């Protein structure tokens, strides 16, 4: 039923029925099947989101492997121990990787972040990637 005073349907969409676009972060009902802003189907969002997680993981691993395999394993171990997550989860929680890099490497973490930034900038500048980079680039 349409409410003329508020301009909304009385049977409003329940928050649990909303999908959040992983590209543009717009909320929309699942029943739409695609984001009204970027017009990508939900299945494409999932694929794109998984791809972005993989890109983050590869960029971080590449930067850490420049320092050495033990450093990469140390970061992976700290992510598991402190936050119960993997490098790929840092797309959603970039502050985790930032905190660990600061703790383990001090001022040298700026070089690691710069390497990650350069790698990701060459590959993709989708909104989730730029959000990730903006969080890890903020000086502590």
Name beta bridge partners: 18. Answer: 29
For the chain, give the mean pLDDT: 82
Q: Which of the residue ranges 34-43, 46-55, 104-113 would you say has the lowest mean pLDDT? A: 34-43
Domains and CATH numbers, the chain: 51-137 (1.10.1200)
What is the spatial distance between Cα 60 and Cα 40, in angstroms, rounded to a whole number? 28
What is the spatial distance between Cα 60 and Cα 120, in angstroms, rounded to a whole number? 9
Model's pTM, two decimal places? 0.65
Residue 24: is its pLDDT beyond 70? yes
Residue 85: is its pLDDT beyond 90? yes
């Amino acid at each position: 039923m349409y409410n003329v005073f508020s301009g909304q349907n009385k049977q409003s969409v329940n928050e649990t029925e909303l999908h959040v676009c992983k590209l543009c972060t717009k909320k929309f009902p699942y029943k739409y099947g695609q984001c009204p802003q970027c017009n990508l189907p939900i299945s494409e969002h999932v694929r794109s989101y998984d791809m972005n997680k993989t890109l983050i993981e590869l960029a971080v691993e590449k930067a850490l492997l420049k320092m050495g395999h033990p450093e990469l394993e140390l970061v992976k171990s700290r992510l598991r121990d402190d936050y119960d997550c993997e490098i790929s989860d840092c797309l959603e929680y970039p502050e985790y990787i930032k905190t660990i890099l600061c703790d383990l490497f001090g001022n040298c973490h700026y070089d690691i972040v710069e390497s990650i930034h350069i790698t990701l900038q060459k590959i993709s500048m989708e909104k989730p990637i730029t959000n990730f980079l903006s969080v890890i680039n903020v000086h502590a």
